[in-house]
Amino acid sequence: MATSRKVIITSAVTGAIHTPTMSPYLPVTADEIADAAIGAAEAGASIVHMHARDPKDGRPSQEPAHFEPILARLKANTDAIINITTGGSPHMSVEERMRPVIEFKPELASLNMGSMNFGLYPMLDRFKEFGHEWEREGLENSRDLVFKNTFADIQKILEIGNTNDTRFEFECYDISHLNNLAHFQLRGLARGPLFVQSVFGLLGGIGAHPEDLMHMRRTADRLFGDSYEWSILGAGKNQMPLATIGAAMGSHVRVGLEDSLWIGPGQLAASNAEQVTRIRTILEALNFEVATPDEAREMLTLKGRENVGF
């Protein structure tokens, strides 16, 4: 009897796209972020993707001190794979963005595969009042913002990861990013199986039409053959529809309040766990099985939770 396909669910707990004013459910403090990640893992996420925030004002932070209490609680309370960002915020230098991965040597880290315009300013049409001035300034400044991820930046992060046996979630916001990844694979710096996270629906990257998803899939298949694991990230309202389409085409899925604040039209998600539960229900209705953390580790050939630096 044929077995069901195993699908990895990633939950992106908090990030730089959304600000605390946009949702009362967005975790900010270390305890809130840890609670949100543990809840997502209990709901079925085998990977939790971690950013941190300054608890004083909710500003995205790459200070290792802001990560440390979160990571300690996660390691003590879940066996989920902890994926630490090297993206941080588009407003940070690459040296600042790399600090947590250098210090904590995680099993998995995110890596953006190319520079791009990163337009968040349309959110100003929806959100008029903000609790902190940095929130409005960050959105407004994205009109004239290039999210810098040069070949030199990518190579530096890959070399650090390879030294520490950290694998990467390769975040590809457009077709050119897949070609950049193929370049680093050819050079032996991006090592497989590649975990390719296709990102859809952010202004400056590829769109969120199903044709865009299929184009990314065709291109990745041509470039990487069977040497990659594919995952889908749809921003905002695109989160559940694109994850569902992608899963039906063979992908893994990523959900979470970093990528979308919503659980339905005009309805804020109350937690990361709520979004994980929703996509898990969809996957199981499609007769897929949700991968456990250890099954995900095997698929991605990770070094194991006992070999991290926290």
Count of domains in the chain?
1
Prediction pTM value: 0.97
* Tokens, residue 99: 């600090």
Q: How confident is the model at residue 99 (pLDDT cuts 50, 70, 90)?
A: very high
Q: What are phi and psi of 162, to 5 degrees?
A: -65, -35
33 belongs to a structural domain: yes
| Per-residue pLDDT, 293 | 98
Q: How confident is the model at residue 73 (pLDDT cuts 50, 70, 90)?
A: very high
| Per-residue pLDDT, 131 | 94
Whose CA is closest to 26, among 34, 40, 36?
A: 36
| Per-residue pLDDT, 304 | 98
Whole-angstrom Cα distance, residue 116 to residue 134?
22
User: Residue 110 pLDDT more than 60?
Assistant: yes
| Per-residue pLDDT, 192 | 82
Beta bridge partners of 170: 111, 196
Whole-angstrom Cα distance, residue 177 to residue 93?
20
Q: Give the residue-averaged pLDDT of 61-74.
A: 98
| Per-residue pLDDT, 4 | 87
pLDDT tens digit sequence for 18-63: 999 999 999 999 999 999 999 999 999 999 999 999 999 999 999 9
Q: Which amino acid is at 119?
A: G
Q: Give the residue-averaged pLDDT of 133-160.
A: 96
Render 58-110 in DSSP notation, one character per residue: --EE--HHHHHHHHHHHHHH--SEEEE-S---TTS-HHHHHHHHHHH--SEEE
* CB 279, CB 243: distance < 8 Å: yes
Dihedral sign from CA coordinates of 55, 59, 63, 64: positive
1 belongs to a structural domain: no
pLDDT tens digit sequence for 259-310: 999 999 999 999 999 999 999 999 999 999 999 999 999 999 999 999 999 9
User: Residue 2 pLDDT more than 70?
Assistant: no
Parent domain of 45: 6-307
* Tokens, residue 278: 């929703």
Supply the CATH number for residue 130's domain.
3.20.20.70
Average pLDDT over the chain, rounded to an integer: 97
| Per-residue pLDDT, 119 | 96
DSSP 57: T
46 belongs to a structural domain: yes
| Per-residue pLDDT, 65 | 98
Q: Is-cis flag, bond preceding 193, omega within 30?
A: yes
Beta bridge partners of 110: 169
Q: Give the residue-averaged pLDDT of 134-161.
A: 96
